[in-house]
Structure 1
Amino acid sequence: MKKLIFLAFVVFTGTVFSQTYTIANVPQNLIEDANSVMINQQVTVHVNDVNEMEYSYHSVLMVLNKNGKNDLLPMVYYNSETKVKNLEAIVYDEKGEEIEKFKKRDFLDISAVDGESLYTDDRLLLINYTATSYPYTLEFNVTVLTEDTAFLPPFDPIPNYNSSVLSSSYSIDVVPELNLKYKIFDEEGRINSTQNGTKSIFTISNLKSILDENHGPTLSATVPKVLFSLDRFNLKGIQGSTANWQEFGIWMNNRLLNGVSEIPEATKVKIRNLVSGENSPMERAKKVYQYMQDNTRYISVQVGIGGWKPMPAKEVDRLGYGDCKALTNYTKALLSVAEVPSYYTLVNHNSSKVNILSDFTSMQGNHVILAIPDGEDYVWLECTSQKKPFGFLGSNTDDRDVLLITPEGGKIAHTHKYTYDENTLKTQGKVILNVEGDISVNVKIESGGIQYNDRYDVEFQKIEDQEAFYKYYWDYLDNITITSMKFQNDKEQVKFMEDVAFEARSFASFAGDKMIFNLNVLNRSTFIPRRYANRNFPLQLSRGYLDEDEVKLLLPEGYEISYIPEPVAINSPFGEYTASTEILPDGNLMYRRKVIRYEGAFPKERYSEFRSYLKQIAKSDDQKIILLKK
């Protein structure tokens, strides 16, 4: 994971190091399980006025192997409000001897925008260093002066999993009238903090690397860190307030979103004609959303604050593209023409369900969605996708606290939580087994909820990629040949249907007159999570789901059933599992399977129980049937 440091700009960060430092001088406990070691990090922030901040970052990272090479990316963002004063990177070999040095002039200067020129002054300075051997050490030094004080860099010393810290410090000095606020995340009390007049100093040292544990909390939720914010700040020449969420929302609504909603008259006429005769606001909203999807595309602004003030809706209308803020604002403007109210909404876009912090008012969120009031609840729109159904979010913005920007101010709300019985996967199949042990299969798969989100995009892939998707999905089967694929995307019901046919040679094995094969052909669980001698973190099952399978197996002539497994039923705090096989009147078989996964958090001591539960499922899914030649 690459760590982002926001300073009204974004800079990728890492660690600092002495030219004479070698791996022999690094404490052994910091090398264990580490891909990199943060030798020394020094961050200094001076906020001299509401529109003047200087930020200095000095870091050295010892990269122990190729997996640690991205723990420090020498990269800095700048624009017309942000000037890079000093910039250099130095590479040292394993003996601590300098082997390469990059001055500011050696850094690549590229656009921060993906492919288009919405924000022409947003730029990146970066180097791409390719190591020839390990370990090596990378030193990165940068000083930036900016007029934007909305984003204060956090004290966030651990850049990644498997990265340890020898020493890290953070100093911030703010003029009193701006009222510095901070929030410490450190349950174990590892951060030392001191106050010296207007200067706040935070230090930490000797942090062992954190391992990425299966079904554990995110790195962000486990590492010690400090977040900072000012009551008064400047953003692209606009002064604002984070005294509380209400004031912040009023500022954003009146200053950032004001004046960017105008739609060309010709488009207004199109929208009015489009929704003419529709009395239901939600039906009008569906038509407007489809219009937006049909007439725009998404581009990504890689870093920076260019997207905080959306591009005017009339520009999106003219160009046909925008980033998340621009497309959300454009959709909001179109809905307004259709007389459907909606709210611009800040959200943390992350599969790990990261909340907007309700008790710490600051510039939060890395994405924007739209909220349409629907009684006591909201219908949520993802405006960057040309494919998603109306009102469907998916796994990057579901079930988390977000911030609505309303004329009355900012309001915390919660996005839709997809329950296990919404996250469905229903599999119906027919498997024909011949005397050579080969199978011909026809299968229909219907997915909903988050499982819909995981699968619907296959329809838009190239044929070779679609075939690769299914070969990976059924990777426990050898010699697969996909013979046909058909898809139906019911966006109204949010259901995705797949109709796939394939053949697999040598599915069954032979032992004399016996033919042996696996009952579970189409949805076999094979994953057993890693065993931990000493697990560090709680068990988190972030989303539930429901799988239901019904597969008919047509047996080859000349064989009779010799052995068939008994039904299996497993109940646990983590879910339920059943599997059974019925002998049909015609002598063939019907295999039925049902899996329910519960969402929940459990003490780390229960991880081994969870692992045992998954092993039981895998064992059942691997059960064999034996046929005997007549």
Structure 2
Amino acid sequence: MKALLPLLAALPLSSFLLLPAAPAPKYAVDDIPAALREGAHAVLRADDEVVAVKSAGRVVRTVHRVVTVLDPAGDDFGRHAVSYDALNTLGYLRGAVYDADGRLLHQLRASEIHDQGVGDAGGNFMTDVRIRYADLRQPQVPYTVEFDYEVASDNALFYPDWQPQDEEGLAVQNATFKVTTPAALPLRYQERQLPKGTAVARSTAGSLETYQWQLANLPAVEEEDAAPPLAHTTPAVVLAPGTFEVQGHKGTSATWQGLGQWSYELNAGRDVLPPATIAKVQALVKDAPDARTKARRVYEMLQGSTRYISVQLGLGGWQTFPASSVANNGYGDCKALSNYTTALLAAAGVPAYVALVGAGAGRPDLRADFPSSQFNHVVVCVPLTQAGRPDTLWLECTSQTEAFGYMGSFTGNRHALLITPQGGQLVATPRYGAAENRQERRLDLFLDDKGGATATARTLRTGLEQDLYAQLMHELGPTDQKKYITDHLRLPTFTLTRFSLAAVPTKAAPGVVETLSLALPGFAAPSGKRVFIAPNLLSRLPALPAQVGERQTPVWLSDACVHADTVRLHLPATFKPENLPAPVQLSTAYGSYSSQYATLPDGTIQYVRRLEMKRGQLPATAYAGYLDFRRKISAADKAQVVLLMTES
């Protein structure tokens, strides 16, 4: 044996140890077709999602997602987050990152996966929702990330949707979606914006039905100007249950009536108020002349005695706190405050209903042809009449400052699901059009003979036009209000010397009046013996960039409005008008515009401008006309008055 030791020692170490081979490269960047890299910040190499409907109350979703990040603008795709809560269990989250050649750089370790509660950052949250996230971004691009995860849901009110191309600048190389469901629970689905020729593949094996979709080689998309949101333009398949169960509460979403019935029964009996609260309400409204006055007093009582807190605790996402809880504690989420308000109104003798709505400024209306839970907010509907005609009142119960009966851009101009004892009824929330959404401005511009100027402006905004300014008025102090306005005035050199905001009642919609004063040094600098001035200081509408390539999406005009301006240009004795711009009159399918100039008897130059924009959706072919409309408005808004300097 001793004689063998020198021989063994002379053998290479590899004769004794078999080191594991490095993993074979995969997801090399060179394997991406050049057409998919063009205009893309990232490419979705694979998005393989499987949804398994286990029963009326349980759904399991598994996802395998691979994204190649091509440039720093796509870095956000290098991290991934998955939410979970008491009704949604996260089974696992795994990840890996690869270099440009597809070589494994790093395998995600458990210690690198962060876990955080949604309410951890503070704010008005009472929630069991948590987020588990991983960050595999790399200092050098390109690189590829791979994530796998599984979520088992005991909340079968919601089925997962599939929209692989959900971000601008993301190309899709391959994506698959597979759904299995018991034949006794037929799948409800709606295909949206799928490429021509894409079709679902259906099969049956025993008691299970399988549905499969596949997308491949989708170039990156860029959000076009005046276009619908990306969610309404890229391929998607949305799912919804027929029958479902959440923690023992069974229901159906096959019809709006059935979905509303489930919500009504889930919350039935939770509208009982303490006797003291009932007595307070009845005393409050005893001399009110009509139902609307009663509702106003109840709403003011609500705003003065409650505050909003978001509650997302298991079934608490859909089942309200009892009205007695809000009465005793003074807080609640949108469901609880709305339920409490209907109870207060009932005590006042005014019937009312809660209504489910998809809230959010700029959020498109729900898909009325696909009954399903498309809601994230609750409001109150009070069906009143006036002179024998419907005069429905809507109340936003989470705000302590919102005007009585006003929905605004958050919940207006869309549908809501009215929850009644007979089930759900799809109804329209208030519509805010050009008559309500107005901006009316009077501006006086005073020139001096040194080339400087001062200006004063009073602007009344109503309806959707006042939403932002009402928010500034209620949420920021005067100093921060002034800073915001200063930062957003598009003027070359100025000083904001005075500024204020004030709420004013108007007949059509709530309003906010803004008053400001400006110092404009060097505003009217002479050019020889002439001075050139564009009187439209504050209301210019910019032109849109020219369309690159063929327009892909419809023209989406989100809101109707009217902007009316009167500007008076006060001249020193040494300035005389030499030339005034010609009047402009435009009338199109997109809206109308007019501007005109006149010299008043006292020598003041008056400029009057009116712009009305329509609301609606037009075909992609209409974009060229819309571009031309905006270009002509922009040119007219920049028109200059020519003044001649005379001897003093």
Residues 1:537 and 2:548 are matched in the alignment: no
Residues 1:158 and 2:158 are matched in the alignment: no
Give unmatched runs, 5+ long, in structure 2.
1-23
Contact 1:151 1:363 in 2 (8 A): yes
- Correspondences of 1:161-200 after superposition (within 5 Å): 161-186=168-193, 188-197=195-204, 198-200=209-211
- Correspondences of 1:497-516 after superposition (within 5 Å): 497-516=513-532
The change in CA–CA distance for 1:571 and 1:378 in structure 2 (over 3 A counts) is same
| Deviation of 1:622 (Å) | 0.9
The change in CA–CA distance for 1:599 and 1:120 in structure 2 (over 3 A counts) is closer
Residues 1:421 and 2:435 are matched in the alignment: yes
- When normalised by structure 1's length, the TM-score is 0.91
- Correspondences of 1:135-146 after superposition (within 5 Å): 135-146=142-153
| Deviation of 1:99 (Å) | 3.6
Residues 1:269 and 2:283 are matched in the alignment: no
Match of 2:307 among 297, 320, 324: 297
| Structure 2 SS opposite 1:395 | helix
Match of 2:290 among 280, 285, 309: 280
| Structure 1 SS opposite 2:213 | strand
Separation in structure 1 between the aligned mates of residue 309 and residue 68 of structure 2, nearest angstrom: 35
The match for 1:597 is 613
Contact 1:35 1:64 in 2 (8 A): yes
Contact 2:311 2:332 in 1 (8 A): no
Residues 1:254 and 2:265 are matched in the alignment: yes
Separation in structure 2 between the aligned mates of residue 325 and residue 136 of structure 1, nearest angstrom: 45
| Deviation of 1:202 (Å) | 1.7
Residues 1:619 and 2:625 are matched in the alignment: no
| Deviation of 1:190 (Å) | 5.0
- CA displacement, residues 426-481 of structure 1 (integer Å, 9 cap, x when unaligned): 00121111122222111110111211223322323233432233334431x22221
| Structure 2 SS opposite 1:511 | coil
| Structure 1 SS opposite 2:341 | helix
Contact 1:307 1:326 in 2 (8 A): no
Separation in structure 1 between the aligned mates of residue 100 and residue 330 of structure 2, nearest angstrom: 51
The match for 1:134 is 141
| Deviation of 1:253 (Å) | 0.1
The match for 1:208 is 219
Match of 1:76 among 79, 82, 93: 82
The match for 2:18 is none
| Deviation of 1:506 (Å) | 1.4
Residues 1:242 and 2:256 are matched in the alignment: no
| Deviation of 1:515 (Å) | 2.0
The change in CA–CA distance for 1:299 and 1:32 in structure 2 (over 3 A counts) is farther
Aligned residues: 611
The match for 1:366 is 376
Residues 1:446 and 2:456 are matched in the alignment: no
Specify the code of the residue in structure 1 equivalent to 2:241: L
Match of 1:563 among 579, 590, 594: 579
Is the radius of gyration larger for structure 1 or structure 2? 2
The change in CA–CA distance for 1:81 and 1:574 in structure 2 (over 3 A counts) is closer
- CA displacement, residues 196-216 of structure 1 (integer Å, 9 cap, x when unaligned): 211222221111222211111
- CA displacement, residues 61-113 of structure 1 (integer Å, 9 cap, x when unaligned): 22223433345752222223332221123233333333444345533222233
Contact 1:509 1:517 in 2 (8 A): no
| Deviation of 1:525 (Å) | 2.2
The change in CA–CA distance for 1:89 and 1:336 in structure 2 (over 3 A counts) is farther
Separation in structure 2 between the aligned mates of residue 144 and residue 105 of structure 1, nearest angstrom: 20
| Deviation of 1:585 (Å) | 1.6
The match for 1:403 is 417
Separation in structure 2 between the aligned mates of residue 250 and residue 79 of structure 1, nearest angstrom: 25
| Structure 2 SS opposite 1:467 | helix
The change in CA–CA distance for 1:121 and 1:27 in structure 2 (over 3 A counts) is same
User: Greater CA deviation, 618-627 or 43-52?
Assistant: 43-52
Separation in structure 2 between the aligned mates of residue 501 and residue 88 of structure 1, nearest angstrom: 58
The change in CA–CA distance for 1:116 and 1:459 in structure 2 (over 3 A counts) is closer
Separation in structure 2 between the aligned mates of residue 87 and residue 219 of structure 1, nearest angstrom: 27
Contact 1:321 1:327 in 2 (8 A): yes
The match for 1:13 is none
- CA displacement, residues 282-334 of structure 1 (integer Å, 9 cap, x when unaligned): 21212222222223333456898742222333333444443333332232332
| Structure 1 SS opposite 2:603 | coil
Contact 1:74 1:89 in 2 (8 A): no
Separation in structure 1 between the aligned mates of residue 170 and residue 149 of structure 2, nearest angstrom: 22
| Deviation of 1:39 (Å) | 0.7
The match for 2:350 is 340
The match for 2:449 is 435
Specify the code of the residue in structure 2 equivalent to 1:78: Y
| Deviation of 1:524 (Å) | 2.0
- When normalised by structure 2's length, the TM-score is 0.88
The match for 1:8 is none
Separation in structure 2 between the aligned mates of residue 503 and residue 468 of structure 1, nearest angstrom: 16
- CA displacement, residues 554-574 of structure 1 (integer Å, 9 cap, x when unaligned): 112322222222222222222
| Structure 1 SS opposite 2:594 | strand
| Structure 2 SS opposite 1:226 | strand
Separation in structure 1 between the aligned mates of residue 335 and residue 582 of structure 2, nearest angstrom: 56
The change in CA–CA distance for 1:307 and 1:148 in structure 2 (over 3 A counts) is closer
The change in CA–CA distance for 1:335 and 1:216 in structure 2 (over 3 A counts) is same
| Deviation of 1:615 (Å) | 1.2
| Deviation of 1:59 (Å) | 0.7
Give unmatched runs, 5+ long, in structure 1.
1-17
User: Greater CA deviation, 376-385 or 424-433?
Assistant: 376-385
Separation in structure 1 between the aligned mates of residue 91 and residue 534 of structure 2, nearest angstrom: 66
Contact 1:112 1:303 in 2 (8 A): no
Separation in structure 2 between the aligned mates of residue 220 and residue 302 of structure 1, nearest angstrom: 25
The match for 2:3 is none
The change in CA–CA distance for 1:607 and 1:80 in structure 2 (over 3 A counts) is closer
| Structure 2 SS opposite 1:268 | helix
| Deviation of 1:387 (Å) | 2.2
Match of 1:323 among 333, 341, 344: 333
- CA displacement, residues 484-516 of structure 1 (integer Å, 9 cap, x when unaligned): 222221256412111211212111222122222
Specify the code of the residue in structure 2 equivalent to 1:208: P
Q: What's the Cα RMSD here?
A: 2.5
Specify the code of the residue in structure 2 equivalent to 1:132: P
Residues 1:384 and 2:437 are matched in the alignment: no
Contact 1:115 1:299 in 2 (8 A): no
| Deviation of 1:517 (Å) | 1.5
The match for 2:63 is 57
User: Greater CA deviation, 344-353 or 398-407?
Assistant: 344-353
The match for 1:355 is 365
Contact 1:389 1:492 in 2 (8 A): no
Contact 2:100 2:144 in 1 (8 A): yes
Q: Calculate percent identity across the aligned residue pairs.
A: 29
Contact 2:117 2:131 in 1 (8 A): yes
- CA displacement, residues 361-405 of structure 1 (integer Å, 9 cap, x when unaligned): 222222222211123353222223222211211223222222111
The change in CA–CA distance for 1:577 and 1:170 in structure 2 (over 3 A counts) is same
Separation in structure 1 between the aligned mates of residue 496 and residue 236 of structure 2, nearest angstrom: 50
The match for 2:539 is 523
Contact 2:306 2:331 in 1 (8 A): yes
Specify the code of the residue in structure 2 equivalent to 1:219: L
The match for 1:225 is 236
Contact 2:451 2:523 in 1 (8 A): yes
- Correspondences of 1:100-119 after superposition (within 5 Å): 100-113=106-119, 115=122, 119=126
User: Greater CA deviation, 514-523 or 309-318?
Assistant: 309-318
Separation in structure 2 between the aligned mates of residue 458 and residue 212 of structure 1, nearest angstrom: 29
The match for 2:644 is 628
